[in-house]
Amino acid sequence: MPNKLNFNNIKGFLCDMDGVIYHGKEILPGVAEFIQWLHAEDKKYLFLTNNSSFTPRELRQKLLRMGLDVTEDHFYTSALATAEFLKRQNPGCSAYVIGEAGLSNALYDAGITMNEVDPDYVVVGEGKTYSLDTLNKAVDLVMKGAKLIGANPDVCGPVENGIVPACGALVAPIEIATGTKAYFCGKPNPLMMRTGLRLLGCHSAEAVMVGDRMDTDVISGLESGMSTVLVLSGVSTVETPKTFAYRPTVILNGVGDIVKEAQKSK
């Protein structure tokens, strides 16, 4: 069985969003109480999402429509992680981008030029701009020498009526056609986790990763030295951890249980 965790002693919370804070357009039970508790207890927190489609401003507005007021500085996305990686690797580089505003804006703000002719990188995220034409273009550019970057390795993501293909699934045809493996910048890449901890101003021993996926959220927290919480409000069930060689520190039904557990520990 997973160990107990005293949430009152945790200084920083890194939280996934899809399946943890909301599902589609609906806020999940206990989330409002969880955010109120974070503020009341003066906890540091950051929403760390692999979804590359949205900017922090758009994520803030999405939560506002659901009745939650969270400022932009509490969001960090795989799009921002991708832009930071490319900026550090190759300042002033260019990229052919398949993705939404969250990805293209992050790259633009990092000084990366959009280029459909001879880019340094082909960068892929989620989005409606993905098509056979953009796929063919990406394959051609990678074959000509562009490096292949994926915003995150997730193969699917939750929506109101089920799941949809995510970045990992969209990158796969390019990998197969070119024989080239993509480099993924989102969770569980430790670069994204270390940036999240730096933004929180917390050491890994003082922080916890909260998510609904074993293969991105839990393993990213584990490999970064953090305690981990698997919530069952998204894609995982109580049986899911049994298929993995590692386990979360705690399994809870949702983030509202964090508040209940903290109150019990006082």
Residues 126 and 150 in one domain: yes
Q: For the chain, give the mean pLDDT.
A: 94
Residue 144 maps to a domain: yes
Torsion from C-alpha of 45, 168, 223, 189, nearest 10 degrees = -70
Strand ordering across the sheet containing 44-49: 75-77, 44-49, 12-15, 207-211, 227-231, 250-252
- Cα atoms in the Cβ-side hemisphere of radius 13 Å centred on 59: 27
Please give the pLDDT value at position 161.
76
Q: Which of 169, 184, 199 is the last residue of a domain?
A: 184
Phi, psi of 257 (to 5 degrees): -70, -20
Residues 91 and 170 in one domain: yes
Answer yes or no: is pLDDT of 153 > 90.
Answer: yes
Q: What is the CATH number of the domain that holds 227?
A: 3.40.50.1000
Phi, psi of 256 (to 5 degrees): -60, -30
The total of structural domains in the chain comes to: 2
Q: Which amino acid is at 215?
A: D
Burial profile 133-158: b = 16 or more Cβ within 10 angstroms, e = fewer: ebbeebbebbeeebbbbbbbbbeebb
Residues 104 and 124 in one domain: yes
Largest CA distance in the chain: 61
Residue 104 maps to a domain: yes
Average pLDDT of 174-201? 96
pLDDT band at residue 4 under the 50/70/90 scheme: confident
Q: Which amino acid is at 243?
A: T
When comparing pLDDT for 4 and 173, which is higher? Answer: 173
Residue 61 maps to a domain: no
What is the Cα–Cα distance from 170 to 46, expressed in whole angstroms? 27
Domain around 258: 7-50+187-265
Please give the pLDDT value at position 3.
55
Residues 178 and 122 in one domain: yes
Percentage of the residues of the chain whose pLDDT score is greater than 70: 98
Answer yes or no: is pLDDT of 2 > 80.
Answer: no
Residues 93 and 171 in one domain: yes
Residue 59 maps to a domain: no
pLDDT digits (tens, 9 = 90+) for 41-72: 999 999 999 999 999 999 999 999 999 999 99
Residues 39 and 103 in one domain: no
Average pLDDT of 223-238? 95
pLDDT digits (tens, 9 = 90+) for 107-148: 999 999 999 999 999 999 998 889 999 999 999 999 999 999
Answer yes or no: is pLDDT of 182 > 50.
Answer: yes
pLDDT band at residue 23 under the 50/70/90 scheme: confident
Residue 239 maps to a domain: yes
What is the Cα–Cα distance from 13 to 227, expressed in whole angstroms? 10
Q: Which of 184, 204, 229 is the last residue of a domain?
A: 184
Beta carbons of 154 and 50 less than 8 angstroms apart: yes
pLDDT band at residue 20 under the 50/70/90 scheme: very high
What are the residue numbers of the active site?
Answer: 16, 18
Torsional sign, CA 111, 114, 119, 121: positive
Please give the pLDDT value at position 1.
42
